[in-house]
Amino acid sequence: MTLDIEICSGTEAAGQQVAARIAALIRDKPDAVIGVATGSSPEPVYRALARYTDDGLDASGVRWFALDEYIGLPPGHPQSYRAVLERVLIRPLGLHPTSLHVPDGGAADPDEAAEAYEAAIAVAGVDLQILGIGENGHIGFNEPGTPFSATTHRATLTESTRRANARFFPSTNAVPVECLTQGLATIMRAGRIELVASGSHKADAVAAAVRGPVTEQCPASILQRHPDVRVNLDTDAAVAVYESS
């Protein structure tokens, strides 16, 4: 399947395009269920979406499901994904924190927490999933080699992912080693998917995901099998896509 690729002049333009489609979904379905990712690429989407709510868009009925969460961070840690999403999405949209659902990274039994989160997503049904992509092609924390059949699960972060996330922590050693993440099969059940990527450092991963073979060594390549995916890129992230066409 050929993915729908949209190339924008920059990250803010990409964010505005995706936000416009999210706003349209919310107008059509005020109780929509939207999956949300953290990271630098999706944040322009959330900034642009906040402008729609400032102009009167009512998102109070929307339920938001986080893609993943670290295991072992103390409650309220500023780099927990609950804290990040409350900071960049929930508060700017003027929403109540209970509208945000996040895997329980502090659970005594993380595997049981993963099963509970998977069940909650299955009951809710995700209308639209927002994704970023890692430099090694991961989506969520589904690292290379993750089975395409994986549902929400406990995962170990690769050293390359921990180094990439170290910019948010005092050092790489402070980055958690484990997480809870929606699995690839979970992500693929979403009705629609919007992937956002920016920067030349993502170019090779994007090209592998959208033009390369569908392989578990590039987890994002499974998106080629989804019927409704839009890939939103700035010009730097799209460079290798042109080369591989």
Alpha helices in the chain (DSSP H): 11-28, 43-54, 81-85, 110-124, 159-165, 184-188, 203-211, 239-244
Residue 199, Ramachandran bin (φ over 0: left; ψ between -120 and 50: alpha; else beta): left
CA distance 65 to 82: 10
Give which of 70, 87, 93 is closest to 155, Cα–Cα.
70
Q: Residues with catalytic annotation?
A: 68, 136, 138, 143
> In what side-by-side order are the strands of the sheet with 178-181?
68-70, 178-181, 153-156
Angle CA(118)–CA(40)–CA(47) in degrees, nearest 5? Answer: 90
CA distance 193 to 130: 6
